[in-house]
Amino acid sequence: MALLRLDGVSVRFGARTALDAVDLEVAEHETVCVLGPSGSGKSTLLRVVAGLQRADAGRVTLEGRDQSGVPTHRRGVGLMFQDHQLFPQRDVAGNVAFGLRMRGAGRAERARTVDEVLDLVGLPGAQRRAVGALSGGEQQRVALARALAPRPRLLMLDEPFGQLDRGLRERLVVELRTLFSTLGTTVLAVTHDQGEAFALADRVVVMRDGRIAQSGTPLEVWQRPATEFVARFLGFDNVVAADVLGEAADTVWGKVPVPPGAPQGTQRLLVRPAGVRLTDVRDGLPCTVEARTFRGDHVALMLRPGDGPRLEAACALRDAPEAGARVGVAFDADEVVVLSAP
């Protein structure tokens, strides 16, 4: 049975719809990441589950029990706020132990749990430090520890790595992933960063304008973005109008092969950069290299074809042509996705 279940949840702020009939399930021990641009309603989603925001329609169920009318403090969920919201007048231990105190835990139990949780988040011995004196990353860890300490049945994270620098973020993501699987925590996180989402989640839910645009494992979403919106949100810009017939499509880029079983007719087509293969200029679609960007293990090339939108291609370091070079382009059917409208 799903631990968390949303059925047709809607939230409106005046004329604006923040959540529009959202259905969502989170299974026990599952980590789900809601991914979406700002304003897509993902934070509202968390607030509805926490009971901080009343739903105008629909139902939130936790462990099978309808939560309407259950106040926030009785829901037994944890929420780590985007900007931490640590209690400024309490020290680290005071913050972490807060939830335990609310549950009436004894002093010894509190101290033990605080020690444990601080160890888990990598801040052993920080109990007496003032929260104002912590660095951003440390505050993040304290906020996490505070949310974890009461062992909530569902842990929710709002932009958990928002304000951290890249290195720290990548390390924390890995640590958290390990931590959650060790503890068996059920997690619902929201982020606007696909990298974080893919690294952290068992399942990714992409939201747009208060609706769920796509839901699936990171691999599924990555490989088969359902819509142009999702594709573009994931950073794929090689999208073009196409007329699909059999296993090929007519585009301004010429004929592009499509995987077997693709929907037929007028469609939008995504070619992932990895599927843009460079050939001799006479063999493929002739393009000019407009720019090349070093991406660590590969080089991203921006190619300008004679007609139609620009193309992004990924190619190995040593094969990368100089800017201004003329190249030919061919497409791999494996990296082509026929998107569904819209």
Q: Contact residues for other proteins (CB under 8 A)?
A: 10-14, 50-54, 56-57, 59, 66, 68-69, 71-79, 81, 83, 85, 87-91, 94, 98-99, 102-103, 130-132, 146-147, 150
Q: Which is nearer to other proteins, 152 or 286 (CB)?
A: 152
Distance in Å, CB of 12 to other proteins, minimum:
6
Q: Which is nearer to other proteins, 44 or 238 (CB)?
A: 44
Q: Which is nearer to other proteins, 47 or 208 (CB)?
A: 47
User: Which residues, 6+ apart, have CB-to-CB distance to 305 below 8 Å?
Assistant: 252, 253, 285, 286, 287, 311, 329
Distance in Å, CB of 60 to other proteins, minimum:
10
Residue with tokens 């990171």: 218
Residue with tokens 């109008």: 241
**DSSP secondary structure of 283-300:** TSEEEEEEEEEE-SSSEE
Distance in Å, CB of 47 to other proteins, minimum:
8
Q: Which is nearer to other proteins, 131 or 314 (CB)?
A: 131
Task: Please give the sequence-ordered ranges of beta strands (E in DSSP) within the chain, or none if there are none.
Answer: 2-13, 16-27, 31-35, 57-62, 65-66, 77-80, 154-158, 187-191, 203-208, 211-216, 239-245, 248-251, 254-257, 265-271, 276-279, 285-294, 299-305, 311-315, 326-331, 336-339
Distance in Å, CB of 198 to other proteins, minimum:
27
CA pair distance 62, 75, nearest whole angstrom: 8
Distance in Å, CB of 18 to other proteins, minimum:
10
Q: Which is nearer to other proteins, 114 or 221 (CB)?
A: 114
Distance in Å, CB of 321 to other proteins, minimum:
44
**DSSP secondary structure of 53-82:** S--SEEEEEETTEE-TT--GGGS-EEEEBT
Q: Which is nearer to other proteins, 145 or 276 (CB)?
A: 145
